[in-house]
Structure 1
Amino acid sequence: MEKLFWSIAFPGFGQILNGKLVKGFVLIFLELLINVQANFNKVIMLSFHGDIISAIEQTNYQWLMFYPCLYMFAMWDAYRDAGKGKSPYSFLPFVFSAYFVTVGLIYSSSLKVFGVLFGYVFLPMLFLIPGISIGFLRKIALRNLNISRA
């Protein structure tokens, strides 16, 4: 789990801890490239200060669209390389999370939840919840289907 948590902190760190240095540094480079091009740190700061409209205006949406898949892949890869992803379909919570966070990102400049505009940081975080949930449920369903066929 340590490698997964380091990968959550910064994509690529988990790979470095797993001894996959080239992969780790490539992921770090990609994370930095996307982060800088999307202006994501500024967007995060503005969002946490409650200035969602300015955060939306500062975002380079075309670059930010790459972030959810890179982030979730880095977590999955660190988890798998640490020996935790051996059970069938263990990748599904990560994949569904990437899909749902991307959809949340697509709608984050306009979708209001209970009249609140959450923006590019908080709405994708909310979409992570159904993504993880559906991924785990799908994993369980597929595993049970395979058990019943055996």
Structure 2
Amino acid sequence: MREIAAFFSILMPGVGQMYNGQVVKGVVFMLIEHFDNSFGKINEAIHLDFNGFHHQALEVLQHDFAMFYPGFYVYVVWDSYYHGKPHGNKKSAILFVIAGFLGEIATIFSRYLPIPTLTIGLTMLIPMIIAIIIYREKTK
């Protein structure tokens, strides 16, 4: 099911592709995610932010790597959703593109957000989940 593949990719980019049988693509996406996450110190920023150290989270975050992450993350989730069985609707890409755009904008203005990493994550997740719900396979 493509919804399951998308949720796997939401949890860990690349796993949804593996679930769909695209193992090489999944491993490549996991490696890209790992290196971007490591060099951007994204997990460290999330940890600090969720523990109330919002200013320190922004200082730790490497914004040049963080700017790449929202678009990549949303693309990986859409790719796993679209290539899942049965194939997804191409119109679903619109909401995923909006999610990536909102994630980029939130990353740019992260210094002005009260809980930056949570806000950035939600600006991407909410449109993606809406797309998955709207374009899910209707069972009869």
- Which TM-score band (shorter chain)? 0.7 to 0.9
Q: Is the CA contact (8 Å cut-off) linking 1:104 and 1:123 kept in structure 2?
A: yes
Aligned residues: percent identity?
28
Q: Is the CA contact (8 Å cut-off) linking 1:38 and 1:62 kept in structure 2?
A: yes
2:118 equivalent in structure 1: 122
Q: 1:21 to 1:97 in 2, by over 3 A?
A: same
Aligned residues: 130
Q: 1:76 to 1:84 in 2, by over 3 A?
A: farther
Can you list the C-alpha shifts for 1:1-55, whole angstroms capped at 9, x where unaligned?
2111110110000001111111101100000000000011110110110100000
Rounded Cα–Cα distance in structure 2 between residues aligned with 1:107 and 1:31: 22
2:56 equivalent in structure 1: 54
Query: Larger RCO: Structure 1 or Structure 2 (Cα < 8 Å, ≥ 6 residues apart)?
Result: 2
Match of residue 132, structure 1, among 112, 127, 139: 127
Q: Is the CA contact (8 Å cut-off) linking 1:85 and 1:91 kept in structure 2?
A: no
* Unpaired segments ≥5 residues, structure 1: 140-150
* Unpaired segments ≥5 residues, structure 2: 135-140
Deviation >2 Å, runs of 4+: 83-88, 125-129
TM-score (norm 2): 0.83
Rounded Cα–Cα distance in structure 1 between residues aligned with 2:4 and 2:86: 11
